[in-house]
Amino acid sequence: KDKRLQVSVFMSPANVHVNRNPISGEVIYNQYHKGKYLVAWNPKSSTENERHSVVVKKGTTEILVKQIAGAVAKRIINYLEVGQKVTQGQEMGFIKFGSRVDLLLPLGTKLNVQLNEVVKGGVTVIATLP
């Protein structure tokens, strides 16, 4: 529960809905949370909506990824298991019909994207870790 830099990626029903591992490392936490289906841009959707939370650890760095369902997207698929070794850019799951993915990054992380910038999975480097 330390302070983190949050980057949210919103996906419309017309977008590709595949979610990818933000870093290579080991999955140390993987939990499904039942919840509401608020619209994805509602700030409370990050904590109140149905979601799947995953923490990937590499060395001393831990990245939390939240796959968040929305008002239209009500089905989250996650392929990962605790203890699994993952590779950056590898598919970790998807959200049917789009919605939102939150990345919670360590403070001091350099963001490589701007507000409202369109990003492409497996291509756009969202941030550089400290």
Q: How far apart are the first and last CA of the chain?
A: 19
**Per-residue model confidence as pLDDT tens digits over 65-77:** 999 998 876 789 9
**Per-residue model confidence as pLDDT tens digits over 57-103:** 999 999 999 999 988 767 899 999 999 999 999 999 998 876 888 89
Please tell me the pTM assigned to this model.
0.84
- Which of 8, 12, 45, 99 is labelled catalytic? 99
Burial 37-73 (b: 16+ CB within 10 A, else e): bbebeeeebbeebbbbbbbbeeeeebbbbbbbbbbeb
> Domain of 11?
4-128
Looking at residue 86, its pLDDT comes to 98
Q: In angstroms, rounded to a whole number, what is the distance separating the alpha carbons of residues 3 and 94?
A: 26
Number of domains in the chain: 1
Q: In angstroms, rounded to a whole number, what is the distance separating the alpha carbons of residues 93 and 70?
A: 16
Reply yes or no on whether 99 is catalytic: yes
Domain of residue 49, CATH code = 2.70.70
Give the whole-number percent of the chain exceeding pLDDT 90: 65
